[in-house]
Structures are given as C-alpha cells and as structure tokens.
Structure 1
Amino acid sequence: MVLKQVIEVKEIIDDGRVSGKDIAALFEKFEFVKVKVTEVSGEKGKTDFVKITIPGASGKSSGGNAPTLGIVGRLGGIGARPSRIGLVSDGDGAIAAIAAAYKIALMKTKKDELPGDVIVTTHICPNAPTAPHYPVDFMDSPVTIMEMNKHEVTSEMEAILSIDTTKGNVIINHKGISLSPTVKSGYVLKVNSDLVRLMEMATGQLAHTFPVSTQDITPYGNDVYHINSILQPSVATKAPVVGVAITTISAVPGCGTGASHEVDIADAVRFVIEVAKEFTDGKIEFYDAKEFDHLEELYGSMSRLQTLGNRVG
C-alpha cells in the first residue's frame, strides 16, 4: 500500500511554511537513510533541494555492486504563494518522489530490502513564481534548470526516472500516468518493454505512453518549445532517463490548485518502486546497450543536443 504514504507526504507539503527540513524530519526514524538538504537562492527566490539515499543490501554505498536507481521529483514549485492559495498541481512530482523514498525505507524495516541503492531528489519551494505557457500557465522556479540538474542529477545514478506533472498540454489525453521513451545522450530511444510491463502490472491498465520531440530533450533556455521539464535531467547525465508523467484528460495549469489526485500519484509511486526492485536487482535495463552503440556507430554522438547549441546573436 502506498496511498497512505502519498497522503502523509501531501499533508506535510501542503503548507505555506514547509521547507526541506520538514522532509528530512520524516526520515529521522530510519537510521540507515541519509538526507541532505541544500538551500539555494536565485533571482526569483529560494528553494530547498532534498537528496534522500536509501542503501540497498548490495548497494554501492556499502561496497556492493548492485545498480543504483535515481528517482527525480521534477517541478518548478509546490506552491505559488501569495498569488495562489495552497498546493499547486506542479507539486505532484515532489509528492511522488518523496512518498516513494518513504515507502522504500519502510519496506527495508520489514525485511523487504532492495538489492541496490535508490537516490531520490527533488526540491521544496512553497512560493515559486508562475510563467506563461501554451495552452495553460506553468509554474516557474526560483532557480534555473541548470541549478536544478546540479542538485537533482548525481553521478551515482545509473538510470533515472523523472516524475513530473504533465497536465498542461493538449497532447496527452489520459488521466493517470504515462511513460516516455528512454532518452540517452541526445538520442530518443524506443519505449522500454520492461517498463511497459511493470506499468501495466502496477496500474492494472494498458500502458500509456507519450511522444517526445527533439525540442523536449534539449536544455531550457534555448528559445524552443518544451512540453515541460520532465526530460531535463537527460541533459545532465550519460545515464538513461525515462519520464513518468502524471497526467489528465483536460489541460490543467501547473499553477492550478485543487488539482492533485492522490490515486494517480500513488500509481506513479507503485510503478517506480516496482522498477526499483527489478533494476537494482539487475533484472531489467532502461535501454539496449548494444543497439545504442550501433546507433552511435552509424550516426555519431548526439550529445550536442544536451547543450545550448550554437547561440546566434
């Protein structure tokens, strides 16, 4: 059961005074969990980055060799105070990531320890700015995407699930969760069949996927359209990245309140935990390494798409 953890985390986050210290306090009862909180200021305010590390039975943090999974709760902010009252839709990614960390930690105390380490990162900002975007307004962030990636994407992560509210578009018309293709080093690869299998098992429904364009996997700040920031972690790592989108049928603003659906967030949490079980046990990969190497042999590196490119003017 993960709905309980989702609700508990949501209650903590839905507070105009919340900070990273409140998230760290949630994990104090787990002696084995390491939580690091870093306050970072930008031109539009400040936020607290949170890194939660849950060691696995054979994880690299304890000298083992089991793979390490990264889970990123991607968002601009959990609130837009004072212009909006309460938790905004954009906060779903943070809730899902923290609830997943909480559940994995609880599992370890009940003899259900994962083989490898899991590193969960997100940030906590209850008063972030908003930004215009088609077809509905987005949440902005007090710091840049580059700063986010610096704190949320770490070298230990061997594969990354990026959880993000993806409701402010007319492309995805499904309420629940949706899966992106794997993105690695500037290449958009095929949708991973193992992740499809795990999504269908976790949700009890046929898997939903969403299209990814070249624009979406380039860094913010290059003056091209992005569906949102769900795949921005891919510009900061060589590890494969997959987006886990929390979605709706209608277009919902990222800065909209009263729009976080606990059951949908719980679907995302169950899914990423099932992925964590199999990935850290070496049972699945996010991409076909042999096929990826062949692509680079045929067409060369696409890592330039991880940069801002050739700036003109």
Structure 2
Amino acid sequence: MMKQVIEAYELLDSAYVDGNKVAEVLKERGLEHVEVKTIEGEKGSTDFIKIVVLGKNGKLSGGNAPTLGIIGRLGGIGARPEMIGLVSDADGAITAIAVALKLADMRRNGDVLDGDVIIATHICPNAPTQPHDPVPFMGSPVDMATMNKYEVDPQMDAILSVDTTKGNRIINVRGFAITPTVKEGWILKVSDDLLDIMQYVTGRMPAVVPITMQDITPYGNGVYHINSIMQPATATDAPVVGVAITAEVPVPGCAAGASHIIDIEQVARFCIEVAKGFGKGKVKFYDEEEFKRLVELYGSMRNLQTLGRKRE
C-alpha cells in the first residue's frame, strides 16, 4: 500500500487542503459515497469527511455482512502558522485516506469486500496545540463530543480507531500497537484474531497498548488520558480497538517531519486485512458469550462512557 499512503501524504501536506479537495480525489478514484461537513469551533473550523465503501453483501445494499468502521483520529493534520508541514498527529488521517484509496483501487480491480466499510476522519491544516506531559499534543478547533458525533457512525458494527500515540513513555516500540477491545465501558481481552493479523502484516511479534480505565472515559472529566485513541468507545455500543502508531521515544503531536511512511503503510495494510476478515465474519473483536457473562456477573460499566457523577 506504499503508493496509496504516499498519495494520501502528498494530498494532505498542504496549507490549502480541505475536505472538499480530498473528496474530489476520492470521487475521481471511483468512490461515490463521500460526505464532507465543515464544522466551526471556538478555535477555528475543520472538515469532517466520511467515506462509505459498499461491500458485495453489505447492510447498506440489503445484505447481512457486518460493517467495519475505520476512524482516523487526530486533532489536526497541521499546526500552521506555528509549524510548517504535516505534523505527527496527522498519521491517523493519512491512514484513513490511504485505506479509502486502496479500497477504491481494489474495487476497480475486481476485489470487493463482503461487508461495507465506513471511513471517517477530519481535515484541519491549521489546528491549535495544547500542553501535555511528557510532550505537547495537538489541540482541535472542535471538542471531542463533536468529533464523536461526526466520526462515530451508528452503522459501524466494530471500530478501528487509528491515532498517533507517540506522546508517552508507556508503549515504546517503533511501528504500531493495538489496544484491548473496549465495549460499553468494559476493557476486554485483546482479540486473538487481531493479534494474528498484526503478526502476519508486520512479520513481528505483536505489541499491545496498556490502556487504563481513565483512557476510556470521555474527555472533559479532568483526568489524564493517554490520548484520544479510545474516545470513540464513549459514543457507541460497538466494540472499539485502538490502532496506535508508536515510537520508541516521546514525540510531540505537533512535531513536523515525524511521520514514518513505512509505519503508516503497515497500519493501513492491517486495517484492510481486518476489513476483509470482519466482513466475512471470520474476525472477531470480542467473545460475545464471555461479554454477556461479565455483565451478568458484575453489571454494566456504561457509567464509564459518561462524564460521571455530578459534583455537589
């Protein structure tokens, strides 16, 4: 997928890029179902883009194959005028657009997936930055609730949330790592199917991000989060797995020249392979019976999807 990743990188590496320009490229590639919405926030605006790639047995065409959601999660692709060029935080958007381009090329070449794939991200070349320990993060012109509103689609039966996750000392590998599956406030075991795919794609032992209960709660509650990778899990009942693009050392989200094409290519290829298997019903994000048993034994954890109890 190197070709598509480079295309996505070059497309987004511009002070003038917006959602409509990205949509135009995707439509020229043969993707008809592309939607762009410009949303104004307190610190500017951004263009949310949603791409639907129909499967041959997808629900949107009357079939019954499950729908995979792929969310490119980020604050912004650029921090202009403070920084010139794509920032590290842009990797999620690059991955999402590259996956869309590859799926378009696959369809043109006769390889149509069984299930629908819904890809969502947002395009903002001049997002603000924000303080974070140990290195600064990218901010966003819109809040997290707005991001979830336009990126998390109720049609998604499972979600891969792709996010640059380099601003920490917790996961110290170069490449990418996946999180345990999160569903309705429960942090479940890591999916064996996803670990297998990760091994096949990378040719290496898989890496797992050690997320905490804090990380799966909504932004705005005043507690530390590793980053926004698990925020989609606060807005859906579908199982969510974070796909973290990682580094051996802490790298600021607002750092330019920090995107590694090889790493992004592996992540994009991982997403494609998950989409192939998930649509066929051969890839599971979690064990349904075990989840049911956990809820029966210990009750609902949905409170962790909320901002919690109100302070008196």
User: Equivalent residue for 1:96?
Assistant: 95
Q: Alpha-carbon deviation of 1:30? A: 4.2
Equivalent residue pairs, number? 312
Q: Say whether 1:134 aligns with 2:133.
A: yes
| Distance in 2 of aligned mates of 1:299 and 1:232 | 23
Judge conservation of contact 2:161–2:241 (CA < 8 Å) in 1: yes
| Distance in 2 of aligned mates of 1:107 and 1:31 | 11
TM-score (norm 2): 0.99
Unaligned residue ranges in structure 1 (runs of 5+): none
**TM-superposition CA deviations, 1:102-132 (whole Å, max 9, x none):** 1011101111110010000000000000000
Q: Alpha-carbon deviation of 1:32? A: 4.8
Q: Which residue identity does 2:262 align to in structure 1? A: V
User: Equivalent residue for 1:156?
Assistant: 155
Q: Which residue identity does 1:79 align to in structure 2? A: G
| Distance in 1 of aligned mates of 2:310 and 2:104 | 45
**TM-superposition CA deviations, 1:224-282 (whole Å, max 9, x none):** 00000000000000000000000000100000000000000001000010000000111
Q: Alpha-carbon deviation of 1:26? A: 1.3
| Distance in 1 of aligned mates of 2:160 and 2:196 | 16
User: Equivalent residue for 2:229?
Assistant: 230
Judge conservation of contact 1:161–1:243 (CA < 8 Å) in 2: yes
Alpha-carbon spacing, 1:234–1:211, altered in 2? closer, same or farther (3 Å): same
Q: Alpha-carbon deviation of 1:210? A: 1.1
Q: Alpha-carbon deviation of 1:31? A: 4.2
| Distance in 1 of aligned mates of 2:253 and 2:311 | 31
Which segments of structure 1 move beyond 2 Å, counting only runs of 4 or more? 29-33
Judge conservation of contact 1:72–1:161 (CA < 8 Å) in 2: yes
Q: Which residue identity does 1:291 align to in structure 2? A: E
Q: Alpha-carbon deviation of 1:25? A: 1.1
Q: Secondary structure at the match of 1:28?
A: helix
Judge conservation of contact 2:30–2:104 (CA < 8 Å) in 1: no
User: Equivalent residue for 1:115?
Assistant: 114
TM-score (norm 1): 0.99
Task: Using the aligned pairs only, state the percent identity.
Answer: 59
User: Equivalent residue for 1:9?
Assistant: 8
Q: Which residue identity does 1:294 align to in structure 2? A: R
User: Equivalent residue for 2:38?
Assistant: 39
Q: Alpha-carbon deviation of 1:284? A: 1.6
| Distance in 1 of aligned mates of 2:100 and 2:10 | 16
Q: Which residue identity does 1:87 align to in structure 2? A: L
| Distance in 2 of aligned mates of 1:177 and 1:41 | 32
Q: Which residue identity does 1:279 align to in structure 2? A: F
Judge conservation of contact 2:26–2:100 (CA < 8 Å) in 1: no
Judge conservation of contact 1:222–1:308 (CA < 8 Å) in 2: yes
CA RMSD of aligned residues (A): 0.8
Judge conservation of contact 1:32–1:55 (CA < 8 Å) in 2: no
Q: Which residue identity does 2:78 align to in structure 1? A: G
Q: Which residue identity does 2:181 align to in structure 1? A: T
User: Equivalent residue for 2:296?
Assistant: 297
Q: Alpha-carbon deviation of 1:312? A: 1.5
Q: Alpha-carbon deviation of 1:311? A: 2.6
Q: Secondary structure at the match of 1:92?
A: helix
Q: Which residue identity does 1:127 align to in structure 2? A: N
Q: Secondary structure at the match of 2:9?
A: helix
Q: Alpha-carbon deviation of 1:101? A: 1.2
Unaligned residue ranges in structure 2 (runs of 5+): none
